């Protein structure tokens, strides 16, 4: 595919091969853009912002609704490409597209709801006789940098609210899975003037650093790993930042939980997209009295999963994104086993597949649960009581989401209040997300919130207008 800058499709001499993780076949290539392309994209976006800002909110909303219609009708085609470039089971890719379409609709609606407020200036010293109100105005140019695992929905979570607030956008998708995001951008770009939506593919550091450090970029909206997020925070200077970073989400299962429900939730959350999910269940913290019963139920759910060809609609578990990822997961599991953990089921790998794994007797200081393990692994950590469960849940530098299984309202409320995470779900695993809810982590899991209402707010600046009526 080609990249799009200022309405022009651009090819380059050098390319990145996009490989299908299922069989390592070539899906397509994308250009390796350079610093000149970055500067051209920023200049184009900077010029186009003047045109977009002349549009009424009504017009922007209507254009986003038009793009929504097109995205909906292209969904199946794009879902197929998501599966080809990421290895995501096709049912998951179709669901990602359904969510992406809804995300775009939320943004089209939100474009009509950008309100300022009146400000009682006369409440402050010297403010008597003054009248004040705020305007929510666009930031200008937004750089959107996205990871491989939800290539369309995470891109639309940035592009759509940016445009709803009348900003222009430069999208830099991941090198592993850029194709579906480029298809999405083409659909949106067809409805807006040249330069409103631009795309760049290539090497993360070169393009990323070029975008992030450019003074004509007014905001960086990044989703990806903590390491890249920290580098962006260091390089971005005086820009607004949204950082949606990694997770190490706990699920707590207490003695009074509905064990079957908890096991099903953990299986869904730990193995979703082969565990390559920021809000995946990464640590299963179980009270000791019910541990054996819970593990039996989880093993039963794990054994039902179908591992295989991601194009098959019945497949639950496809390959990991590449072989390096498989090696990283197997090293972390092996390390835990060498320190006393026990594999109950799984622990095997072949080609780019890692098999769904339940591993027990995991201690909170093992690398497997200290780092973000991006694979289909459910590590069980035993605790004595709810107090210890909360302490273990918080013993991490991450804080994206969390789940708690209990039938006791007091324990549910205690966990909700004390777990340090952007969201806590009772009787649901941490992978729960609707696209309108405020989403974003605490601690090293990032800063800022996505979810359309909140993302649009973050895509605006507040300007105060004061009038002297005396
Ligand atoms: P990554 O950090 O390796 O890459 C993300 C993006 O950053 C890619 O487009 C990459 O090319 C770009 N990049 C690389 N170096 C850069 C630099 N120096 N400056 C600017 N951009 C640069 O992440 P990944 O491996 O693609 O994705 C997995 C990670 O993303 C996991 O940690 C996962 O938890 C996280 N994630 C977080 C969320 C969330 O919403 N919190 C959602 C999905 C994934």
pLDDT digits (tens, 9 = 90+) for 304-331: 999 999 999 999 999 999 999 999 999 9
**What are residue 187's phi and psi, to 5 degrees?**
-60, -45
Q: Identify the pLDDT of residue 178.
A: 98
Tell me which of 85, 224, 443 to substitute to probe ligand 1's pocket, judged by most ligand atoms within 8 Å of the beta carbon.
224
Question: Taking a C-beta distance cutoff of 8 angstroms, is the pair 217, 145 a contact?
Answer: no
Q: Is 199 in the pocket of ligand 1 (CB under 6 A)?
A: no
Which one from 110, 244, 372, 457 is the annotated catalytic residue?
Answer: 244
Nearest ligand 1 atom to alpha carbon 445 = 41
C-alpha span between 235 and 213 (Å, rounded): 6
Is there a catalytic annotation at residue 260?
no
pLDDT per position as a tens digit, 132-179: 999 999 999 999 999 999 999 999 999 999 999 999 999 999 999 999
Distance 205 CA to ligand 1 centre (A): 11
Distance 204 CA to ligand 1 centre (A): 9
Distance 347 CA to ligand 1 centre (A): 26
Q: Is 212 in the pocket of ligand 1 (CB under 6 A)?
A: yes
Q: Identify the pLDDT of residue 299.
A: 98
Q: Is 149 in the pocket of ligand 1 (CB under 6 A)?
A: yes
Q: Is 225 in the pocket of ligand 1 (CB under 6 A)?
A: yes
Angle between helical axes of 179-189 and 57-86 (0-180°, round to 10) = 160
Question: Taking a C-beta distance cutoff of 8 angstroms, is the pair 145, 172 a contact?
Answer: yes
Q: What is the dihedral of CA 150, 278, 430, 282, to 10 degrees?
A: 130
Percent of the chain with pLDDT over 70: 100
Confidence of residue 462 (pLDDT cuts 50, 70, 90): very high
Confidence of residue 255 (pLDDT cuts 50, 70, 90): very high
Distance 226 CA to ligand 1 centre (A): 8
Which one from 84, 176, 278, 287 is the annotated catalytic residue?
Answer: 278
Q: Is 234 in the pocket of ligand 1 (CB under 6 A)?
A: no
Instruction: Report which of 238, 219, 231, 301 is spatially closest to residue 266, judged by C-alpha positions.
Output: 301
Q: Identify the pLDDT of residue 470.
A: 86
Give the pLDDT mean for 438-449: 98
pLDDT per position as a tens digit, 375-416: 999 999 999 999 999 999 999 999 999 999 999 999 999 999
Q: Is 375 in the pocket of ligand 1 (CB under 6 A)?
A: no
How many Å is the Cα radius of gyration of the chain? 23
Distance 312 CA to ligand 1 centre (A): 28
C-alpha span between 415 and 422 (Å, rounded): 13
If you average pLDDT over every residue of the chain, what do you get?
Answer: 98
pLDDT per position as a tens digit, 340-357: 999 999 999 999 999 999
Q: Identify the pLDDT of residue 252.
A: 98
Give the pLDDT mean for 29-50: 98
Is there a catalytic annotation at residue 244?
yes
Question: What residue ranges define each of the domains in the chain, with the CATH number in brackets?
Answer: 3-245+445-468 (3.40.605.10), 249-434 (3.40.309.10)
C-alpha span between 447 and 242 (Å, rounded): 6
Give the pLDDT mean for 182-191: 98
Give the pLDDT mean for 85-112: 98
Q: Is 232 in the pocket of ligand 1 (CB under 6 A)?
A: yes
Q: Is 146 in the pocket of ligand 1 (CB under 6 A)?
A: yes
Confidence of residue 259 (pLDDT cuts 50, 70, 90): very high
Which residue's alpha carbon is nearest to atom 24 within ligand 1? Answer: 147
Nearest ligand 1 atom to alpha carbon 374 = 31
C-alpha span between 442 and 449 (Å, rounded): 10
Distance 140 CA to ligand 1 centre (A): 23
């Amino acid at each position: 595919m080609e990249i799009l800058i200022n309405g022009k499709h651009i090819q380059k001499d050098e390319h990145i091969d996009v490989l299908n993780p299922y069989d390592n076949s070539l899906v397509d290539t994308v250009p390796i853009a350079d610093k000149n392309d970055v500067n051209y994209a920023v200049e184009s976006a900077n010029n186009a912002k003047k045109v977009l800002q002349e549009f009424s909110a009504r017009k922007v909303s209507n254009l986003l609704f038009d793009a929504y219609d097109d995205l909906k009708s292209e969904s199946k085609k794009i879902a197929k490409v998501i599966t080809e470039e990421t290895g995501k089971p096709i049912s998951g890719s179709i669901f990602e597209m359904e969510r992406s379409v809804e995300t775009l609709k939320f943004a089209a609606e939100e474009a009509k709801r950008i309100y300022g407020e009146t400000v009682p200036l006369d409440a402050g010293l010297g403010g008597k006789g003054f009248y004040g109100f705020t305007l929510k105005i666009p930031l200008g140019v937004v750089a959107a940098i996205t990871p491989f695992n939800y290539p369309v929905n995470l891109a639309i979570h940035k592009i759509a609210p940016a445009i709803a607030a009348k900003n222009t956008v430069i999208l830099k998708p991941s090198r592993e899975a850029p194709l579906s995001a480029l298809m999405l951008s083409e659909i949106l770009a067809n409805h807006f003037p040249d330069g409103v939506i631009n795309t760049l593919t290539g090497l993360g550091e070169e393009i990323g650093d070029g975008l992030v450090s450019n003074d004509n970029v007014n905001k960086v909206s990044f989703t990806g790993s903590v390491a890249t997020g920290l580098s962006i925070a260091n390089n971005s200077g005086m820009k607004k930042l949204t950082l949606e970073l990694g997770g190490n989400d706990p699920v707590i299962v207490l003695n009074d939980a509905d064990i079957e429900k908890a096991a099903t939730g953990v299986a869904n959350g730990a193995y979703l997209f082969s565990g390559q999910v920021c809000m995946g269940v990464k640590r299963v913290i179980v009270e000791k009295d019910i541990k054996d019963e819970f593990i039996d139920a989880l093993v039963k759910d794990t054994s039902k999963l179908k591992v295989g060809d991601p194009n098959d609609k019945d497949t639950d578990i496809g390959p990991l994104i590449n072989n390096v990822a498989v090696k990283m997961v197997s090293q972390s599991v092996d390390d835990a086993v060498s320190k006393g953990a026990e594999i109950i089921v799984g622990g095997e790998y072949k080609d780019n597949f890692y098999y769904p794994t339940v591993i027990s007797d995991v201690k909170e200081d093992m690398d497997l649960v200290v780092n973000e393990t991006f694979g289909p692994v459910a590590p069980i950590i035993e605790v004595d009581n709810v107090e210890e469960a909360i302490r273990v849940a918080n013993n991490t530098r991450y804080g994206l989401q969390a789940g708690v299984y209990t039938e006791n309202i007091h324990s549910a409320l205690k966990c909700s209040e004390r777990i340090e995470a952007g969201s806590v779900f009772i009787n649901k695993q941490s992978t729960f997300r609707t696209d309108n809810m405020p989403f974003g982590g605490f601690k090293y899991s990032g800063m800022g919130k996505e979810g359309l209402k909140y993302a649009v707010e973050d895509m605006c600046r507040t300007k105060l207008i004061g009038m002297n009526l005396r």
